[in-house]
Structure 1
Amino acid sequence: MRLAANWLPISPELTREVARRAERAGLWGLGIGDSPHYGELYAACADALAVTSTLTVLTSVTNPVTRHVSVHASAARTFGSERFVVGMGRGDSAVRTFGLDPAPLPVLEAALTELRAAVPDVRLQVAASGPRATALAGRCADGVIGGAGRDLPALRGLRDTAAAAHGGPVELWASVRLAVAGDESDVPALRTRMLPRAISASRFNFAGTFDGKNVPAAMRETLTERYAGYDFAWHGRSGANPVATMFADRPDIEDYLLDRFAVVGTVDTCRDRLAELDPVVDGVFLSLLFEDAVEQLDMIGDLAGAL
């Protein structure tokens, strides 16, 4: 099972250091997010590729709304297919922050088809959480970045839907938030810091529909109600912020979202929980606490060698 760290480009210097450490840790790849709160996506991809020799660099993920397909094609031509992958979705925080709407699925499919025609050897992945987007990925891409967290039945559903649309197996990647603790006593604080990141991941997965997503019925009404007030200004940020308190009166939901969308624990605990995904997925994107990414990657090296 391959592992890729997910990173948001806080600065060029940090991007280069994170890329070096990801490669040193034995990770297969480094996914770089496309967010208006951080640095420029393709400049960050260039930084990561320039300081590594084996690491695969991916956009995880970009969209066809804020960047024209010609921009994606130019990047794909520049970086080549040996160590570069375009991951694309409909657009989430990157578009909503500017008051724009995510791309309709036909627009996303047209962009992927046009990109493939312009750069035939480009490798493509699609971020998907529901059956329609997953089927699109099966038709148009080489892989699916599943939004189901660690839920095995939901991941199997994504895998089977993509394969049916493709006419054969399609790569499936899980996406989880990861915080490795140096000691068991550090775990409660890390879970608190990771909570808003897990909530952000759940909103992406659940806000459209619960169909095929294996969500407890008793939680669905509350989830839908709270997602309606989600503040995109705080999307993806850890620690104390408005997203962190969305379910403060429902600790059962907080625990459910943390356990489904995040892995927090010692090296041994994290290794065991990630290993549970191995029979279903080809790889896992590990979205780190970005402010601790350099230190976390040194500990993640212990995970990578055993998975």
Structure 2
Amino acid sequence: MVAGGLRLHGSWSSTGGQTDKSATDMAAIGRRWEEEGFDYVPYGDTTFRDCYVCLGAIAASTTRVALGTYVTNPATRSPLVTAQAIASVDEISGGRAFLGIGMGNSANAINGMPRATPETLRGALRIINSAFRRAREHEPWPDGIEIDEGVNAFEWIKRRVPILVAARAAKGQRIAAEMADGLMLRAGDVPHERLATVIQRVLNWRAEGPRAGDPFEIQILDSAFIGDPEKGRRYLGSPTATRARAMNPDEPGLDPALREQILEYQRRYEFGLHGSSLTKSNIELLYELEIADYMFDRFAFIGDEKAMVARFEELETMGVTATHAPEPWREGAGAVARYRERHPLDPAAEPTPLRPQPHLL
């Protein structure tokens, strides 16, 4: 179900959010998304059920979709423990796992911990890849991956799990380009008018770095809705609220009055309701502080089918390889079908790390 290079994530906001779903629910949703033609099933590592337990349940109930963390971090989980957990999910799924990792946000705040530094993230990627190095006996191994022979190597590994770095700032994006298999960007973390420039900068770093020539993913974690704007706000309230919580209030050029409103929102944000679409306290707080219009304009896309197709085409032109399916899926499926008619998959296209490839599991 790949179209013109763009693959599709399912969106949790249409299901009531991850906070409100059990591991059993996750398995059923993952199976449904696979049947509907989605390509990725991501799962967050924050206030929800344990991400690896849920991913294991999804892996056991599906056969095709790629699945992974969305995202974890090296501060709240040890890199070796993370490597062991995602490799176990990969084994259960038959080689369909990926690891989304960044410097942390909500999980760190909930645990009273600072975000990881770029240096810590670099070190974590080196440790995780080193733990996977026995995969060199079973599959081609990119030359540019840094290995520490002093790190314990898992004897049972047959596949190096692809790593995607989530980063909104240049230091993290450079780590993705130099050390990982892809970059995750949330729509709105970079103002849309600057997105193409940022992506090109990352691709240039990739081309100049130690892993030049290796396949590379660019994933835009989008919130999109087809239909009435007010209904769209109801659907996309949860992801918009969570992204507003993670916004940098010291972003250059931000209006000082807006900065104070954002800081107040982040102080009053209820982490127990993080990612919930059913309990709307955080969403209502956006309206109370009069920043809802700004946040929906920045972090959500609401339009008709024609506009959604144009957005897909624009993202693909920028070099994006994956994004979220629009909601609600009944209306969104039409936009996806129209896009895929106009941009069919090129069978000769260069594979990305997450496209199905032969392996020895």
TM-score normalised by length of structure 1? 0.81
- Partner Cα distance (1:196, 1:55) in 2: 24
Query: In the alignment, what sits opposite 1:292?
Result: none
- Partner Cα distance (2:29, 2:331) in 1: 13
Query: In the alignment, what sits opposite 2:221?
Result: 175
Q: Name the SS for the 1:191 alignment partner.
A: helix
Moved more, 136-145 or 214-223: 214-223
34, 37, 42: which one aligns with 1:23: 34
Query: In the alignment, what sits opposite 1:163?
Result: 203
Contact 1:138 1:163 survives alignment (8 Å): yes
Larger radius of gyration: 2
Query: In the alignment, what sits opposite 1:199?
Result: 241
Tell me the alpha carbon deviations over residues 182-203 of structure 1, each in whole angstroms, 9 at most, x when there is no partner: xx4xx41341453353132134
Tell me the alpha carbon deviations over residues 35-72 of structure 1, each in whole angstroms, 9 at most, x when there is no partner: 22x21111111111112211111211111122211222
Change in Cα spacing, 1:50 to 1:133, as seen in structure 2 (3 Å) is same
State the 1:176 CA deviation: 1.6
Tell me the alpha carbon deviations over residues 82-112 of structure 1, each in whole angstroms, 9 at most, x when there is no partner: 3110000112111211212221221111111
- Partner Cα distance (2:277, 2:197) in 1: 29
CA RMSD, Structure 1 to Structure 2 (Å): 3.1
TM-score normalised by length of structure 2? 0.70
For the pair 1:71 / 2:73, whether they are aligned, the reply is no
Please, which runs of 5 or more residues in structure 1 have no aligned partner?
290-295
- State the one-letter code of the partner of 1:210: E
Instruction: Give the count of matched residue pairs.
Output: 292
Tell me the alpha carbon deviations over residues 265-304 of structure 1, each in whole angstroms, 9 at most, x when there is no partner: 5555544444432212423443889xxxxxx455544444
155, 178, 200: which one aligns with 1:139: 178
Query: In the alignment, what sits opposite 1:256?
Result: 294
Change in Cα spacing, 1:284 to 1:77, as seen in structure 2 (3 Å) is closer
Contact 2:245 2:265 survives alignment (8 Å): no
Change in Cα spacing, 1:188 to 1:276, as seen in structure 2 (3 Å) is same
- Partner Cα distance (1:99, 1:63) in 2: 14
State the 1:173 CA deviation: 1.1
State the 1:32 CA deviation: 0.9
Moved more, 69-78 or 267-276: 267-276
Seq. identity, %:
24
Query: In the alignment, what sits opposite 1:293?
Result: none
- Partner Cα distance (1:210, 1:61) in 2: 22
121, 124, 129: which one aligns with 1:111: 124
Q: Name the SS for the 1:31 alignment partner.
A: strand
Q: Name the SS for the 1:54 alignment partner.
A: coil
- Partner Cα distance (2:231, 2:256) in 1: 29
Please, which runs of 5 or more residues in structure 2 have no aligned partner?
1-5, 13-17, 134-159, 340-361
